[in-house]
Amino acid sequence: MKAVAVLMILIGLVIGAGAALEFRYFGPDAEQFWVGVFTTPAGLFFVITGVMLWLRGRSVRGIVLLAALFMFAATTAATVLHVMGPPATLTGMIGVLVAVAWYWRTRPSPAERVTG
């Protein structure tokens, strides 16, 4: 779990920092700028979720899945628009796959279980 949290933090920082650089080099009239607008918060959310996973453990299972979905959407959109290259796409998708695999492998915490 801690390894997944560290990986989420590192990948979120890498993708988010790369997306934030788009603000410096491109203006609002460029496609790259708008990819940065949406990918930077996705990277930040991935980092915050990694920190929450480190601190709270299994209780943030649902948030980990949501962060993975946001990162998947941002990475896919940036790749389709030819703003993100293959190394960054691979990095983002590895983070998504690791987060989703962790979500599937862990059992729900007692707070998440629905009792009937």
Residue 66's alpha-carbon distances to 29, 31, 50, 85, in angstroms, are 30, 25, 12, 24
pLDDT in tens, 65-86: 999 999 999 999 999 999 999 9
Rounded CA-CA distance 66/54 in Å is: 16
| Domain ranges within the chain, ordered by starting residue | 2-105
pLDDT band at 116 (very low <50, low <70, confident <90, very high): very low
Contact call for residues 29 and 18 (beta carbons, < 8 A): no
Its pTM stands at 0.89
pLDDT in tens, 18-31: 999 988 899 899 99
